[in-house]
Amino acid sequence: MTDHITSTDPRTGAHVTEAAPTPLGEVRRITAAAAAAAPELEHRGRAFRAHLLRAVAARLEERRDAIVDLGRRETGLPEARLNGELTRTAYQAEFFAGVIEDGGYLEATIDHAADTPMGPGPDLRRLLVPIGPVAVFGASNFPLAFSVPGGDTVSALAAGNPVIVKAHDSHLGLSQLSFAALAQACADVDAPEGTVGIVFGTKAGAALVADPAVKAVGFTGSLTGGKALLEIINGRTEPIPFYGELASVNPLVVSAAAAAERPEAIANGLVASITGSGGQLCTKPGIVFVPKGTDGDRLLAAAAALIAETAAHPLLNARIADSYRAIAASYTAAPGVKELAVGPAAPQEGSFGSPRLLEVDAADFTPAVAEECFGPSAIAVRYGDAAELGRAFAALPASLTATLHTAEGDPDLGPLVALVRPLAGRLVFDQFPTGVLVSWAQHHGGPWPSTNTLHTSVGATAIRRFLRPMTWQNAPEAVLPPELRDDAAVPQRVDGRLRL
Asked whether the CA dihedral 194, 199, 205, 210 is positive or negative, the reply is negative
Selected catalytic residue, list 42, 282, 373, 388: 282
| Cβ partners under 8 Å of residue 190, min gap 6 | none
Do residues 253 and 393 lie in contact, with contact meaning Cβ atoms separated by under 8 Å? no
Residue type, 195: T
| Alpha carbons 156 and 212: distance in angstroms, whole number | 18
Do residues 33 and 197 lie in contact, with contact meaning Cβ atoms separated by under 8 Å? yes
Do residues 359 and 382 lie in contact, with contact meaning Cβ atoms separated by under 8 Å? yes
| Alpha carbons 464 and 218: distance in angstroms, whole number | 12
| Alpha carbons 380 and 361: distance in angstroms, whole number | 8
Do residues 292 and 383 lie in contact, with contact meaning Cβ atoms separated by under 8 Å? yes
Selected catalytic residue, list 74, 85, 245, 359: 245
Closest CA to 488 of 155, 127, 159: 127
DSSP 445-458: --TTTTBSSS--SS
- Strand (E) or helix (H) holding 119: strand 119-121
245 carries an active-site annotation: yes
373 carries an active-site annotation: no
Task: Name the residues annotated as catalytic.
Answer: 245, 282
